[in-house]
Amino acid sequence: MPYALHDPIRRTKIVATLGPASDREGVLEAMLEAGVDVVRLNFSHGSADDHRRRLERVREIAARLGKSVAALGDLQGPKIRIARFENDSVILEEDQSFILDMALDSQAGNQERVGCDYKQLVDDVEAGDRLLLDDGRLVLKVIQVAAPEVHTIVEVGGKLSNNKGINKEGGGLSAEALTDKDKADLKTAIDIGVDYLAVSFPRTAEDMLEARRLLGEEGKEIGLVAKIERAEAVADEATLDGIIEASEAVMVARGDLGVEIGDAQLIGIQKRLIKRARTLNRAVITATQMMESMISSPLPTRAEVFDVANAVLDGTDAVMLSAETAAGDYPVETVEAMHRLCLGAERERTAQESGHRMHEGFSRIDETVALSAMYAANHLEGVAGIACMTATGYTPLIASRIRSGLPIVGLAHSPIAHRRMALYRGVVSLYFDTDGLEPSEMDAAAMKILTDRGLILPGDHIILTRGDHMNAHGGTNTLKILEVR
């Protein structure tokens, strides 16, 4: 799909969740045409066959459109929930007593008590703790723990229906990050060929390392995404940095994280997470309720406009849509709106200025070349973009940590690297077939692709990075400034 000559290219990527709404005739193709860069397969819903069918359809449409689209599988994780009520829901009144009963039949909840699927809750809470139900809409204060019951007083009441989630204020629930269901879904993720796999509720780097061990040799090309949604994950810098460094990307999962740490703290945590991920050379996704009103409305609210724009200005690689595209009434319109908002925010000067690693030393040659290319591009008049020949996508990732208004073109001969780069901010990912090319022919072949795709014009300058050997990871060692003729 050709780009319009010198038209602005959206730098911030869009992640869209697939579901019944995107399954409607013609909707998925329209979403990809509207600007979706990464599709999310939510393993909390649907079967393995559903996910396989959807991803096959994405790959077919993307190939036809000439578009790079990555696939993100999202593990459910240990979502801790209450059981069910006899009449589907109850109304809890402030100051009433209410019991979470680990021994109660899973269908027998009533006005006084309800079961819980997480039997260890009695070991994880004590008198004085506050439990937040249904994403914090209801609050219970623990009065007494008398196994198998947790006795509480309702502090904030309201309607409580079947299977709503439970969080503990401040964190501290000990459920393992990877459940038996997750381990089965992990095999599905390998089988259907996702590019990224999101791990829910990691508490430490060890949870991410365990996922990497379970992926094994078969899943070695899958990038891990840490969903930051537990209070423990952001409790101190060392823990957070460890999780980030054990992952290829992180997600600011603002739903459960906001419930555990409180909305007031969430604001600063989002900004700190984006900054630390970029500093540590990892991609970062901002998620949860970004365009929530568009589930049932064709237009976003002003608050949503500013929420998306602020994430863009903070430097997020991607913004994510959940129910808006999986189950909403306006999935295509939502993607179109998010595309417009990202472009609008990216026009601001602060989105194009960077002091990234200006006062740091470099230890790797490929990083030195990538960062030098970006600073040269940002300061040399007449440069239309940066092109990186890459085996793995690492050089474009490093380059994309520097803010710029210029496109970074990742030229990858590996289909996996080609798709993985679809997540990186400011990177246009193009497939670059090097089979049969001599080293002396590489530069001209790269320039032809950029010209054919409308990314450069005669008279432009392009900064090109490459290695002496195209198939060598970490082999980037050359920077050239070429004039387009």
Burial of 36 (0-12, 13-18, 19+ CB in 10 A): buried
d(CA 471, CA 23): 38
**Side-chain half-sphere exposure of 153, counting CA atoms within 13 A:** 8
Half-sphere exposure of 263 (CA within 13 A, CB side): 3
Of 53, 81, 141, 212, the active-site residue reads 81
Task: Locate 136 and state its tokens.
Answer: 């914090």
- Whether 288 is a known active-site residue: answer yes
40 is catalytic: yes
Written as six digits, the tokens of 57 are 């359809």
Judge if the upstream peptide bond of residue 148 is cis by omega within 30 degrees of 0: yes
Neighbour-count burial for 324-338, b at 16+ CB within 10 Å, e otherwise: bbbebebbbbbbbbb
Of 113, 168, 227, 403, the active-site residue reads 227
The C-alpha atoms of residue 476 and residue 243 are separated, in whole angstroms, by: 27
As a whole number of angstroms, the distance between CA 404 and CA 401 comes to 9
Question: Cα 328–333–335 angle (5° rounding)?
Answer: 90
**Can you tell me the distance from the alpha carbon of 482 to that of 478, in angstroms, rounded to the nearest whole number?**
13
Q: Is 130 a catalytic residue?
A: no
What is the rounded CA–CA span in Å between residue 132 and residue 141? Answer: 9
- Single-letter amino acid code for the residue at 91: I
Distance CA(312)–CA(270), nearest Å, equals 12
**185 SS3 class:** helix
List, as one string, the DSSP characters of 205-253.
Answer: HHHHHHHHHHHTGGGTTPEEEEEE-SGGGGSSHHHHHHHHHTSSEEEEE
Say which of 204, 288, 325, 395 is annotated catalytic.
Answer: 288
- Asked whether the beta carbons of 128 and 152 are under 8 A apart, the reply is no
User: Of the listed 10, 11, 13, 40, which one is catalytic?
Assistant: 40
Token code pair at residue 415: 């289909």
How far apart (Å, rounded) are the C-alpha atoms in residues 185 and 193?
Answer: 12
Per-residue buried b or exposed e for 454-483, using 16+ beta carbons within 10 Å of the residue's own CB: ebbeeebbbbbbbbeebeeeebbeebeebe
Spatial strand order in the sheet of 461-467: 427-431, 408-412, 383-390, 461-467, 476-483
Residues with a catalytic annotation lie at 40, 81, 227, 288
